[in-house]
């Protein structure tokens, strides 16, 4: 059996995720990138409070992981979003569309009672990208 080599993807400013929390923001295995759930926290570990700005930060964090592995949102093939209030879906889709620009991905939206074990987090998004 052949074991695929994996590479942890840790963008600048996200080292605390690896060092303090113990996981990688992304893992590249062959030509597939697995993006860990991204939340609306900035590189200073501060929660972005405004809901729309928090959603934007989630996608900015995903973008950083994609770009650190040489990719872009055009390489995204699957996305799962976790929402503390499913009534936020229209706002989420507006922000998503700014970043995906018409790219269709397989998407699953899940309602969650809470995220990150702390109040104020409205959204977490994980994904899979495939490179050529």
pLDDT score of 118: 86
pLDDT score of 48: 96
pLDDT digits (tens, 9 = 90+) for 88-102: 999 999 999 999 999
Low-confidence ranges of the chain (pLDDT < 50): none
C-alpha to C-alpha distance for 121 and 127, rounded to whole angstroms: 18
Specify whether the CB–CB gap between 28 and 124 falls below 8 A: no
- Which CATH code, of 3.30.450.20, 3.30.70.3270, 3.30.1330.40, 3.30.1330.10, is assigned to 6-130? 3.30.1330.40
pLDDT score of 44: 87
Residue ranges of the domains in the chain? Answer: 6-130
pLDDT digits (tens, 9 = 90+) for 69-91: 999 999 999 999 999 999 999 99
pLDDT score of 4: 77
Specify whether the CB–CB gap between 43 and 89 falls below 8 A: no
Please tell me the pTM assigned to this model. Answer: 0.95
């Amino acid at each position: 059996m052949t074991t695929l080599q994996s590479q942890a993807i840790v963008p600048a400013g996200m080292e605390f995720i690896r060092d303090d929390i113990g996981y990688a923001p992304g893992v590249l295995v062959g030509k597939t990138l697995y993006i860990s759930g991204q939340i609306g926290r900035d590189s200073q570990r501060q929660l972005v409070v405004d809901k729309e700005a928090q959603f934007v930060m989630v996608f900015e964090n995903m973008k950083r992981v994609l770009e650190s592995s040489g990719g872009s949102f055009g390489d995204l093939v699957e996305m799962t979003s976790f929402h503390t209030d499913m009534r936020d879906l229209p706002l989420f889709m507006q922000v998503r569309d700014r970043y995906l620009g018409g790219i269709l991905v397989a998407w699953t939206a899940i309602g969650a009672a809470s995220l990150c074990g702390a109040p104020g987090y409205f959204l977490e998004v994980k994904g899979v990208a495939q490179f050529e």
